[in-house]
Amino acid sequence: QVQLVESGGGLVQAGGSLRLSCTASGRTFSSYAMGWFRQAPGKEREFVAAIIWTGGSTRYADSVKGRFTISRDNAKKVYLQMNSLKPEDTAGYYCAAGRYGSTLQDFGSWGQGTQVTVSS
């Protein structure tokens, strides 16, 4: 089992930036990739970005391409740099570990989430 802890959420004005962090521990060798998802009130959880631990290949949802960047370091941390934030980016953001995919079923371990609120 992989344990994931997110941090870095908060309140920011539209056009601003935030960086989310996710620290992985436990059986991290069992996970091939890490991802970020988000869920707004009343909506389904949706894919944001994913990265492979080795090699660093990445993929993004169309809605965040060019604004968000996912990265990782050697200390089993994954980051989501969010720039040019929009009110529609407001959501709970969740870190996940699993396969290199873009669906909920690709990821078997999840963090508790961190709230991002973008004011207009």
Cβ atoms 37, 45 nearer than 8 A? yes
- When pLDDT is cut at 50, 70 and 90, the band that residue 28 belongs to is confident
Q: Is the pLDDT of residue 30 over 70?
A: no
Compute the distance between CA of residue 56 and CA of residue 33 in angstroms, rounded to an integer: 9
Compute the distance between CA of residue 17 and CA of residue 115 in angstroms, rounded to an integer: 14
What pLDDT is recorded for position 29?
67
Beta bridge partners of 13: 119
Q: Is the pLDDT of residue 1 over 90?
A: no
What pLDDT is recorded for position 113?
97
Q: What is the mean pLDDT of the chain?
A: 94
